[in-house]
Amino acid sequence: MKILIVKLSAIGDVIHTLPALCALRRHLPTAQIDWVVEEAAADLVVGHPDLDRVIVSRRKAWMRDLIDRSRRPGALAEINRFFGELRSTRYDLILDFQALLKSALVVALARGRRKVGFGRGLEHMEHSYHVLSERIRPPSMEVHALTRNLMMVQALGVPVAEVAYRLPVTEADWTAVELLLANGGIGGNRPLVAINPVAQWPTKLWPEERFALLADRLLERYDVSVVFTGGSGDRPVTERIVGAMKRPALDLSGRTSLKQLAALYKRARLVVSTDTGPMHLAAAVGTPVVALFGPTAPWRTGPFGPGHHIVRAPAPCAPCFKRRCDAGGCMHRISVDRVLAAVNGNLKLETVPF
């Protein structure tokens, strides 16, 4: 049997689909299972033990290159190769876990006997169900995204015995992380707290000065090391936060791959994060997360599993799911003391004696 998973982005959404992949592999150990993913999240699935092939879409790069006349021929050649690879196999089953226009295009162009996904009813699905040959009754959006993905494979008769991710982290990734920490002056004796302060939506952001104060308080109160994480585009923010601190912290934003970030989070005792992809990565490796939530709903997209702590703003309009806010921003209502209290409950370490 040949199966194609279509989940293109983003980091958190791809992580939430991994348990469905693992369930498929347990149920169909000899099947060929392929995955179409966009470049930004590809590191999470390339080399995954339950996949036979990963087809990478460079959609955003192609869109940029098509505007540039000098790069247009190369982009067109790449797009042609992508669609050739996509159509090189006739699949018995194609699963659309994305339910967006961009995934519908991939599903429509791929060759498959059965094209399956959720039917009409999910928010923001952009009429993607029109390209499906079989439509599964959609669950409530109030169900966690990871659970919704498992419900799709369960509707096809695939049992779900456990939630597993099997992230393809290698020994080389672990070695790279230990080297980064050692070069930053962090050894293996002190517990590590990782802070991921940036998110894509402006409304998900917590004030930078509060992250700096939080990190200083952690270093003052506990015998821990603090490391900041994020993508390469997040580095100006993390540099400002570290620069505003009174005590030293290590800034690793933009210096790790996603697999190395998974290894780093596994190494950490705790991760403090806004509502963003790395938050889900920390939960996937089993590290407790203190997650700061404002405009979004943690029961839909919070860190999955036990042991995590949600700190929410006491705003009557939350969750509003807005990327822009004219009311001042509910994340500003979260105090440093509230986050510290959540961290204290998760760290369970002795305070540093005066």
pLDDT, tens digit, 9 for 90 and up, residues 114-123 = 999 999 998 8
pLDDT band for 352, please (50, 70, 90 cuts): very low
Distance between CA 51 and CA 25 in Å, rounded? Answer: 8
The answer to whether residues 149 and 215 belong to one domain is no
The answer to whether residues 214 and 321 belong to one domain is yes
Distance between CA 33 and CA 3 in Å, rounded? Answer: 5
pLDDT per position as a tens digit, 291-305 = 999 999 999 999 999
Residue 343: CATH number of its domain: 3.40.50.2000
The answer to whether residues 130 and 203 belong to one domain is no
The answer to whether residues 143 and 189 belong to one domain is no
The answer to whether residues 143 and 22 belong to one domain is yes
pLDDT band for 353, please (50, 70, 90 cuts): very low
pLDDT band for 345, please (50, 70, 90 cuts): confident
The answer to whether residues 199 and 225 belong to one domain is yes
The answer to whether residues 67 and 176 belong to one domain is no
- With H, G, I as helix, E, B as strand and everything else as coil, classify residue 142: coil
Contact 97, 7 (CB under 8 A): yes
pTM: 0.95
The answer to whether residues 205 and 132 belong to one domain is no
The answer to whether residues 341 and 192 belong to one domain is yes
pLDDT value for 189:
84
The answer to whether residues 125 and 270 belong to one domain is no
pLDDT value for 316:
84
pLDDT value for 28:
98
pLDDT value for 351:
53
pLDDT value for 354:
37
pLDDT band for 70, please (50, 70, 90 cuts): very high
Q: Which long-range contacts (CB under 8 A, 24 or more apart) does 180-189 make?
A: 180/252, 180/255, 180/256, 180/260, 180/264, 181/227, 181/250, 181/264, 181/267, 184/227, 184/250, 184/252, 185/248, 185/250, 186/225, 186/227, 186/250
pLDDT value for 76:
97
- Supply angle C-alpha 256, 149, 128, rounded to 5: 100
In total, how many domains does the chain have? 2
pLDDT per position as a tens digit, 189-237 = 899 999 999 999 999 999 999 999 999 999 999 989 999 999 999 999 9
